[in-house]
Amino acid sequence: MPGISQPQKKFLITLFSTILLAYGKSNFTNLSRYSYLSEKTYRRHFLKSFNFPQFNQYFLKEALNPEHTVIAVIDCSFLIKIGKKTDGKAYFYNGVAGKSEQGLEISVISIVEIETRLSSSLSVQQTPSRPQINAVKKLPQKPKNCWSKKSCKKPDSQSSKPDITRVDDYAQHLKNTHSFFPNSVRYLVADGYYYRSKFWDGVRELNLDFIGKLRVDANLRYLYTGEQKKLGAPRKYDGKFDSNDLSRLKFVKNLNPGVSLYTLVVWSCCLNCQISLACISEVQANGKIKNTLLFSTDINLMPEQIVEYYQDRFQIEFIFRDAKQFTGLSDCQARHLPRLDFHFNASLVALNLAKHEFSSCHSSAKSFVFSLAFYNPHSAPSTVTRDS
């Protein structure tokens, strides 16, 4: 990899192997115990810049099979962080607690191989904190000498809103990382939170198609396919979409007993474009029917592929699980943004290397299932300890 000095190369080799070897937290103090480097050396090198997305790009060229289908996945993860002086600390949604809590949040973009269902992180970015807007606002008082409606101007409601939201940060993260994508990536998959017009605008600028999940009450329109009148503008829509009425959808097949798949091309009022629906209708134990709506902006994509690609999106959750449990994703002692960014990237890169080493040794005909709990770092030949 060009642009890396020999001392930094030596440090990174030691760092990645030590993260996988060390017991306990992956902080500066504990990393120095399991390597020949001092705590001060770790702190100093964590301030130096390193192009981790480019490193992951070179790694993916060696790890991915060029004949396999790959997709890009974006998602966020909450990290617990105690301290008042940490950069970027704010209220973020914690999925484990089911509410917003103080801590850090990272946005991760990964590449998933469909055939093997292996996910490798490509880029990670810390979500910056934003100024909070008071939920309760005082009503503006009427001026004393206000005799006409023209002289009484309404307060500017837009002045209290931030110009840039967190969705803009996620879209900008995608734009900054797109140049490192494998050339065969056509689809970006995300959960229902990213179903927003401003995020879709960023995806469309990169010539990517978007696959995600819809709310049951999403604002959709049926497309009009009947005969047009001779006068007036042509009719575009044929009423609002009803997720409980599947009579107008096309039946595809039964995925499982009691689980059916339907599809239809509709108009999305949020994205302002046509989308292909993949509706999964499931009969629950109590007799009620639960409908799950998945979509793709590529209307030519088969509904079975929409379901498969969205299911493979959950592979990024295993990255968060293994990184938090085994490579110290949330163990950083630093408070400043450069060191935090270096730590997050180093944790995910170490996980990528361990996953690739483990998968390359897999020779069984059974499907490969990876967890860092089964990885034995002591057998790695590149491990560097204090005794060596």
Q: How many domains does the chain have?
A: 1
Q: Under the phi-then-psi rule, with left for phi > 0, alpha for psi from -120 to 50, and beta for the rest, what region is 345?
A: alpha
Instruction: Give the whole-angstrom CA distance, residue 358 versus residue 364.
Output: 12
> Does some domain include residue 248?
yes
Q: Can you give the pLDDT at residue 376?
A: 54
- The more confident residue out of 95 and 383 is 95
- How do strand 209-214 and strand 220-223 relate by DSSP bridges? unpaired
Q: Can you give the pLDDT at residue 357?
A: 85
> Does some domain include residue 56?
no
> Does some domain include residue 51?
no
Answer yes or no: are the C-beta atoms of 320 and 73 closer than 8 Å: no
Mean pLDDT of 24-30: 91
pLDDT of 384 above 50: no
Domain at 265, CATH number: 3.10.450
Q: Which two tokens stand for residue 59?
A: 């790694």
Domain that holds residue 284: 215-226+234-303
> Does some domain include residue 167?
no
- What's the mean per-residue pLDDT of the chain? 86
pLDDT tens, position by position, 278-295: 999 999 888 899 999 999
Residue type, 12: L
- The more confident residue out of 143 and 81 is 81
pLDDT of 330 above 60: yes
Instruction: Give the whole-angstrom CA distance, residue 16 versus residue 9.
Output: 11
pLDDT tens, position by position, 136-193: 344 445 555 544 445 445 555 444 555 678 999 999 999 999 999 999 999 999 999 9
Q: Can you give the pLDDT at residue 365?
A: 52
pLDDT tens, position by position, 228-255: 888 888 888 888 999 888 999 999 999 9
> Does some domain include residue 286?
yes
Q: Under the phi-then-psi rule, with left for phi > 0, alpha for psi from -120 to 50, and beta for the rest, what region is 258?
A: left
> Does some domain include residue 294?
yes
- The more confident residue out of 147 and 327 is 327
Sign of CA dihedral 305, 310, 311, 313: positive
> Does some domain include residue 239?
yes
- The more confident residue out of 358 and 255 is 255
pLDDT tens, position by position, 87-133: 999 999 998 888 999 999 999 999 999 998 999 999 999 999 874 44
Instruction: Give the whole-angstrom CA distance, residue 210 versus residue 187.
Output: 6
- The more confident residue out of 201 and 382 is 201
What angle separates helix 166-177 from helix 197-205, to the nearest 10 degrees?
Answer: 10
Tokens 């990382």 sit on residue: 177
> Does some domain include residue 140?
no
pTM, 2 dp: 0.85
Least confident range from 37-46, 169-178, 369-378: namely 369-378
Contacts of residue 76, Cβ cutoff 8 Å, sequence gap at least 6: 92, 105, 106, 107, 108, 127, 170
pLDDT of 75 above 90: yes
